[in-house]
Every structure is written in C-alpha cells, then in structure tokens.
C-alpha cells in the first residue's frame, strides 16, 4: 500500500521516524509513538499531524539526537510551537524550520534552567524588519511560557523571529545577523554625528532600517540605481551634515560587504537620515 509509513524508530510518544517509498520522514502526532516498535506500520492517518522530509542525513541524525535527549514535555512544547508557525498565514519551509527551531528551543530551555541569559542586541531591528515573524514569535514564546516551568525572556522572541524570517526569506541566520550588525553600525554613526539618540519606535527608524536592509541585499546581488546628479547636489547644499553621514555609511558598507557602492545610493540615505532628525 502506497500510503503506509513503516516505522524505523520511535523517538518518543509523539515522534517517530518512518520510511515511505524508501524515503525517511519524521512523522509527528499525539500518541503516535506509544507502544510502537521498529517494523510496525502506521496506517492511522488521523493521528498524523505533520510529516517532515529531512533531506540530508546530517539533518536527520541531528534531529534524532535532539529528540532523544530532551524530555517529553519540552518536545511537545516544541512541536506545538512549530505547528503554530507552520499553520500561520506566512509561507515557510517547515522542513528546515523543524530542525533549527527544535535545536534552538531545546538549548535555550537548558540555558535558562541554568540561569544563563543571552541578550539579543538585534531585538528592535528584528521587530521592525520582520513584523509578521516577530508577532508569531511572541505568540510562540507566550505558549512556551505557559506550558514549561521556566520563563523565556523577551530577547528570545527576537531569536525565534530570526529563525522564522530566515525560513521565509531563504537567508541564513548568519546573513541576517550580518545585516542586523550593519544596521547597528549605521545607527551608531548617525547618533554619533548628529549628537542625538534615534527613537527606535518611530516610523522613520523603521523606514530607515528597511531601506538599509534592501540596500544591503541589492548590493550583495550587484544591483545598482541610476545617478541623480542635480538632486545629489541639492541635498549636499541643503543637508550637508546628513549628506556627510550618508557618505560615511556608504564607505563603511563598502568595506564590510566588499562591494562597490555607487554614489547614487547616497541620495536615498541622505533623505532617510534627514527624516531621522525630524
């Protein structure tokens, strides 16, 4: 029968590794692994909640090791968290998320039990850049806090939002951290040169970091925009300080990204920086 899942290994009461048409899959469902043995067949589709095809052997081994070392309550909380994300309106690759998020939550839980808190310097940037992912992540953290005996701090919302967003946008976590780091450097330059702190809850700030994010992506892909010499000269004359800050930011990005940044980009950056002074 085509639809049968042959049990290769029950990982716990709710997670089993099966083979179907010679492919290994993770099958998740409440009680699906109870009293199951390798070689048995799962026919009951009603019990199956989710099926994940973990393509790479290393992914499979890593996932198995994670499930086997965590206790059932934590695993169930992780499964519920992943279901919340994959059942939401956002388009996401569940196969990649299931491993990275299981890994993250299990280790975060262990850390927090030992009172080891890691602060997240990019929580504000993440919140503004990926509002949908952040909103779902906040619900996930609320859910985890209601079922587990520890409290995940607000910084964890940002970490989990990054996992969600990286699966939405096909960016790796390290690429996203790199983007956040560049945004953070931009803000440091602006605050230093303007002698004022930037209101990170303002619409202007949100627009600025979105602009920078898309600028970094464009630069990484080698895309350029047309030069606007007259407009550039006008901005230089009217907003010399903002213009000079924009040039500084462009040079910093050029160095950090190892790409050529054309002067046409300065126009938009100057406008955004000027808006931040308002």
The CATH number covering residue 34 comes to: 2.30.24.10
Identify whether residues 217 and 196 lie together within a single domain: yes
Please give the share of the chain, as a percent, with pLDDT higher than 70. Answer: 99
* Span 81-123, pLDDT tens digits: 999 999 998 888 788 788 889 989 998 999 899 888 887 877 8
Identify whether residues 130 and 207 lie together within a single domain: no
Identify whether residues 164 and 239 lie together within a single domain: no
> Between the ranges 56-65, 73-82, 86-95, where is the mean pLDDT highest?
73-82
Tokens of 197: 């702190």
Domain-embedded: residue 155: yes
Tell how strand 50-52 and strand 23-28 pair up. antiparallel
Average pLDDT over residues 161-166: 87
CATH code of residue 217: 1.10.1790.10
Nearest residue to 98 (alpha-carbon basis) of 178, 155, 15 = 15
Nearest residue to 208 (alpha-carbon basis) of 274, 155, 259, 257 = 274
* Span 180-227, pLDDT tens digits: 999 999 999 999 999 999 988 777 887 788 788 878 877 877 777 777
Tokens of 115: 């009172």
At which residue do the structure tokens 């059932």 appear? 72
Identify whether residues 75 and 162 lie together within a single domain: yes
* pLDDT band for position 58 (cuts 50, 70, 90): confident
Looking at per-residue confidence, does 54 or 38 come out higher?
Answer: 38
Mean pLDDT of the chain: 87
Domain-embedded: residue 255: yes
Identify whether residues 164 and 195 lie together within a single domain: no
Please give the residue range of the domain that contains residue 24: 1-62
Identify whether residues 106 and 166 lie together within a single domain: yes
Identify whether residues 42 and 82 lie together within a single domain: no
Identify whether residues 235 and 252 lie together within a single domain: yes
What is the rounded CA–CA span in Å between residue 9 and residue 136?
A: 32
Domain-embedded: residue 100: yes
Identify whether residues 57 and 89 lie together within a single domain: no
Q: Which residues contact 15 (CB under 8 A, 6 or more apart)?
A: 26, 27, 28, 32, 33, 67, 75, 79
Give the domain-ending residue among 145, 170, 195: 170
Helix, strand, coil percentages, rounded to 5, for the chain? 60, 10, 30
Strands, DSSP E only, in the chain?
5-12, 15-20, 23-28, 41-42, 50-52
Domain-embedded: residue 106: yes
Domain-embedded: residue 177: no
Using alpha carbons only, give the angle 259, 171, 69 rounded to the nearest 5 degrees. 135
Identify whether residues 50 and 76 lie together within a single domain: no
Give the domain-ending residue among 62, 81, 101: 62
Q: Name the pTM for this structure.
A: 0.71
Give the domain-ending residue among 41, 62, 83: 62
Domain-embedded: residue 22: yes
Identify whether residues 188 and 165 lie together within a single domain: no
Looking at per-residue confidence, does 105 or 69 come out higher?
Answer: 105
- pLDDT exceeds 90 at position 234: no
* pLDDT band for position 1 (cuts 50, 70, 90): very low
- pLDDT exceeds 90 at position 127: no
Provide the domain count of the chain. 3
What is the rounded CA–CA span in Å between residue 27 and residue 246?
A: 52
Identify whether residues 77 and 57 lie together within a single domain: no
């Amino acid at each position: 029968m085509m639809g049968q899942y042959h049990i290769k290994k029950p990982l716990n009461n709710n997670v089993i590794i099966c083979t179907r048409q010679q492919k290994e899959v993770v099958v998740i469902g409440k009680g699906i692994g109870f009293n199951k043995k390798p070689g048995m067949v799962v026919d009951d589709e009603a019990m199956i909640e989710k099926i994940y095809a973990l393509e790479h052997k290393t992914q499979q081994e890593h996932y198995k090791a994670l499930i086997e070392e965590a206790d059932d309550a934590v695993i169930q909380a992780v499964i519920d968290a992943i279901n919340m994300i994959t059942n939401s309106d956002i388009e996401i690759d569940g196969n990649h998320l299931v491993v990275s998020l299981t890994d993250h939550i299990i280790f975060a839980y262990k850390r927090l039990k030992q009172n080891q808190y890691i602060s997240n310097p990019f929580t504000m940037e993440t919140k503004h850049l990926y509002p949908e992912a952040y909103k779902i992540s906040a619900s996930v953290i609320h859910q985890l806090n209601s079922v587990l005996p520890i409290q995940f701090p607000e910084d964890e919302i940002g970490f989990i939002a990054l996992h969600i967003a990286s699966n939405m946008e096909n960016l790796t976590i390290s690429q996203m951290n790199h983007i956040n780091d560049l945004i953070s450097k931009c803000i440091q330059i602006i605050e230093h040169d303007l002698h004022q702190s930037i209101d990170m809850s303002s619409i202007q700030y949100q627009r600025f970091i979105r602009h920078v994010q898309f600028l970094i992506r464009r630069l990484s892909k080698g895309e350029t925009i047309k030069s606007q010499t007259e407009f550039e000269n006008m901005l230089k004359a009217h907003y010399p300080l903002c213009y000079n800050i924009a040039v500084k930011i462009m040079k910093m990005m050029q160095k950090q990204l190892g790409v050529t940044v054309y002067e046409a980009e300065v126009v938009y950056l100057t406008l955004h920086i000027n808006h931040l002074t308002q």
